[in-house]
């Protein structure tokens, strides 16, 4: 359903990047590392950061505009973490 090939994403790589912003319960370095390892394999993701000091534990992804936010939410939730999209 969300299968995007690297070729498809590379073709749109010249388009501007988007920033996806999520709230989460990622509150330790270990949890952050686990989520980063999971999400770095998504084609089109160029940067991942977590603000663990913010009360919403902000997860930010810089990525190709073709990366669907609901895929990110589903992946993070699939390993037991909370994740919900915030307006950027």
pLDDT per residue of the chain (88 residues) written in tens, 0 to 9: 455 555 555 544 445 899 999 999 999 999 999 999 999 999 999 999 999 999 999 999 999 999 999 999 999 999 999 999 998 5
The pTM for the full model equals 0.80
CA 33 vs CA 7, 10, 16, 27, 40: distances in Å: 27, 26, 26, 11, 10
Contact yes or no for 85/67 (Cβ under 8 A): no
Question: Residue 42: which residues within 8 A CB-CB, separation 6 or more?
Answer: 63, 67, 71, 72, 75
CATH of the structural domain 15-86, one choice from 3.40.50.1010, 1.20.140.10, 3.40.50.80, 3.30.70.100: 3.30.70.100
Q: What's the confidence (pLDDT) of residue 18?
A: 94
Q: What's the confidence (pLDDT) of residue 5?
A: 57
**Residue ranges per domain, the chain?**
15-86
Q: What's the confidence (pLDDT) of residue 16?
A: 85
Q: What's the confidence (pLDDT) of residue 87?
A: 81
């Amino acid at each position: 359903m969300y299968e995007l090939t690297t070729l498809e994403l590379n073709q749109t790589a010249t388009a501007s990047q988007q920033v996806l912003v999520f709230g989460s319960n990622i509150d330790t370095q270990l949890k952050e590392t686990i989520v980063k390892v999971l999400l770095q394999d998504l084609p089109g993701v160029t940067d991942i950061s977590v603000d663990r000091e913010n009360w919403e534990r902000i997860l930010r992804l810089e990525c190709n505009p073709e990366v669907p936010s609901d895929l990110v939410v589903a992946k993070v939730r699939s390993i037991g973490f909370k994740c919900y999209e915030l307006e950027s």
